[in-house]
Amino acid sequence: MAYSAEAIRNVALVGHRGTGKTSLHEALLFEGGVLARLGSVSDGTTASDVEADEQARQMSISMTLSSFEWAGRKINLLDTPGEPSFIADALGALRVSESAIFVINAVMGAEVTTRRLWKVAAERDIARMLFVNMLDRERADFYRTLESLKSAFGPHVVATEIPIGSEQSCNGVVDLVDMRAYRYEGSGRGNATEIEIPEQESARAQEYREKLLDEVAEVSDELMERYLEGAEISHEEIVDALKRGTNHGSIFPVVCGVATRNLGTNRLLEAIVEDLPSPVEHGAFETDEVTLEPLADRELFAYVFKTRADPFAGRINLLRVYQGTLAHDTQLANTRSHSKERIGQLIVFAGKGTTTADSFGPGDIGGVAKLKDTRAGDWLAARDEPIRMPTERLPAPVMAFAIEPKTKGDEDKVFTSLRRLQEEDPTIDLHRDAQTGQQIVAGLSQIHVEVIVDRLRSRFGAEVTLKPPRVPYQETIRAGAKAHGRHKKQSGGRGQFGDCHIEIAPLEPGGGFEFVDRIKGGAIPNSFIPAVEKGVREAMEHGVLAGYPVKDVRVTLFDGSFHSVDSSELAFKETGVTQAKQALEQANPVLLEPIMMVTIAVPEDTVGDVIGDLNSRRGRPQGMEPNGAITEIKAELPMAELLAYAPDLRSITGGQGDYTMEFLRYEEVPGHLVAKVLGAAAQEPVRA
């Protein structure tokens, strides 16, 4: 059946790695009747983490969509990875959801990834609720965590529930809206029993209810006026104001529980359907080109936000219908490729299983298989009308490796498979380095690249080896020089003769290469001068120090001679090569290395250690900018010092630091390091 937009709740589960998002997803599906038993991350039995690499690493790598019904509403629940290496899926889920539940570790409080995703959710006007999880852990403290959340996200973070008991003795919650308490026994479905608010929690429940009412009253001027006058606010008014305040970020409700024990899960499901907005309540979706309203009788617009690469089923696309009704066995336009797509079977995901649907109405989320030319980021529409989703700011890949097939002849298989994985994960960078000739695969971390290699093997049977990429060094000169020589060859028949005088001089950094023709009086015929230039350029491709490209030089051809019979283009090209190399050797050649501008985000308490590490890597800090508990450091570093930086930064910052980098300029390699670079180059010559 197709659900009306009013009955749909699209909810992303997001947060830092290790907060229990997958366990919460599992408990919600179990309590909602989708699963027969409660799976475990540690046992590898959850509905979310079905890939072998996810089970082995005990972490989510890909987003999981599950749809089910609760209290007459359809909940589309998107469980997302918390590891920063796979943040693209979390950003994709936030793109198509009206609401996000931020899952918080009750021991750790507001962590780095949570803060970053919160900022994204705020920019997109997404309703936000927080679930404080793991209350049964040692050192778990709901009230300390609540203060941490208020400090990170502002005073409108407010508890709508508080726990009963603490750490191992946590066994229930108090609902501050209804002022009712619930005790949980066991982890089975329907494990909650309503009880009187325990005496030891009564005063605290009243205290936090007053704080909740203070926030609720701010939703409207009328409510605030009555509240300040001491008038009673009815239960219905509280519920209505809480929902309105949550919808557009005036209130951020905090609920709590223990996902692995199914504690608080039923209350969270009630909060999802009662407090979080439907697509209709959240409002129309606007792009630069069109305003889309969640109405069934309008023209169809559906956005593809995730592509899964399956070696057997091909592409499976997850999409969100923004307007109109998507029906199977219809034809739609892909507004990017301007091609027609036939919509075949519509897929509904529920845990590890799937069912089919006849249609998806406005606001709904589901899947469709075997679209020939559609991938993540595309729009499907009733007609080919220009429409674009606002640009997604994805982090840039920084961990690069040279990649080679283990088996000769597998090149096409490997790179075709990599392209399919790239459709699934847009943060993968795949390119050929024009200077070194290496095929480069880059990701957001070493874990990211390892997962890429694992999936190449497990999904597509493609085995590869990884090597650190070569640093694209260059060579230049620091002085001018002249060279003169002849290319003369006589071995019977027509000979070869070329005679050139050239001068070489340095250019300013970034000057590239210049060839200047100053031949006068026809000393060399015009028809042979391009051959000299070709030879000189060929010599510049491989410098005299270590075979790296030569940049920022000017070569002037100022004299020469020719033979009316034996001179040829080949002879003058060879002369250009030999004379350019001779001149380079006499012009004080030096080695250049790429310098990168690096932006590093780290917890403020690790700034000193990070700066010290940067100094040890020949880094030059350019400034710092605090942003809450995170400090952003800008520094210039040689690329050679960054090849293994990602794991070291994770170690220094306890896994909470990350960085981006961009090319800045080339600089001369310090004298004490030149011999080391030249020695390494001799071991592995630069490719043509």
Residues 70 and 189 reside in one and the same domain = yes
Angle made by CA atoms 143, 205, 221, in degrees to the nearest 5 = 95
**CB of 550 closer than 8 Å to CB of 481:** no
Which residues sit opposite 399 in a β-bridge? 443
In terms of C-beta density within 10 A (0-12 exposed, 13-18 middle, 19 or more buried), how is residue 293 classed?
middle
Residues 66 and 181 reside in one and the same domain = yes
Which of residues 539, 572, 587 is at a domain's end?
A: 587
Residues 582 and 614 reside in one and the same domain = no
Whole-Å CA distances, 563 to 224, 485, 523: 100, 14, 10
**CB of 546 closer than 8 Å to CB of 591:** yes
What 8-state DSSP symbol labels residue 674?
H
Report if pTM > 0.75.
Answer: yes
What are the start-end ranges of the H helices in 486-632?
529-540, 569-586, 607-616
Q: Identity (one letter) of the amino acid at 240? A: D
CATH of the domain at 150: 3.40.50.300
Which of residues 226, 259, 282 is at a domain's end?
A: 282
Please name the residues in contact with 484: beta carbons below 8 A apart, sequence gap of 6 or more: 500, 501, 502, 559, 579
CATH of the domain at 344: 2.40.30.10
Residues 68 and 102 reside in one and the same domain = yes
d(CA 245, CA 314): 43
CA dihedral 416, 418, 424, 430 (to 10 degrees): -120
Which of residues 260, 282, 304 is at a domain's end?
A: 282
Residues 509 and 600 reside in one and the same domain = no
Residues 506 and 412 reside in one and the same domain = no
Report if residue 675 sits inside a domain: yes
Residues 411 and 452 reside in one and the same domain = yes
Residues 574 and 596 reside in one and the same domain = no
Residues 328 and 187 reside in one and the same domain = no
Question: Which range of residues forms the domain containing residue 407?
Answer: 399-467
In terms of C-beta density within 10 A (0-12 exposed, 13-18 middle, 19 or more buried), how is residue 461 classed?
exposed
> To which residue do tokens 């990884």 refer?
466
Q: What is the total count of domains within the chain?
A: 5
Residues 252 and 307 reside in one and the same domain = no
d(CA 130, CA 14): 10
Residue whose C-alpha is closest to residue 401's, from 455, 463, 461, 444 = 444
> To which residue do tokens 């180059």 refer?
681
The pLDDT score that the predictor gives to residue 113 is: 86
Report if residue 336 sits inside a domain: yes
The pLDDT score that the predictor gives to residue 628 is: 67
In the chain (688 residues long), the average pLDDT of successive 10-residue segments reads: 90 93 95 90 78 74 92 96 87 96 94 88 95 95 95 94 94 95 94 94 95 87 80 84 91 96 96 96 90 94 88 81 95 93 92 90 95 91 86 76 87 89 87 80 84 89 87 92 81 74 92 92 89 93 90 93 81 90 94 91 90 95 84 92 85 82 89 89 60
The pLDDT score that the predictor gives to residue 402 is: 87
> To which residue do tokens 């070493």 refer?
446
Residues 168 and 57 reside in one and the same domain = yes
> To which residue do tokens 């692995």 refer?
260
Which residues sit opposite 68 in a β-bridge? 75
Report if residue 219 sits inside a domain: no
**CB of 599 closer than 8 Å to CB of 634:** yes
CATH of the domain at 580: 3.30.230.10
Report if residue 221 sits inside a domain: no
User: Phi/psi class of residue 23: alpha, beta or left (left: φ > 0; alpha: ψ in -120 to 50)?
Assistant: alpha
Residues 250 and 116 reside in one and the same domain = yes
Residue whose C-alpha is closest to residue 144's, from 127, 162, 156, 119 = 162
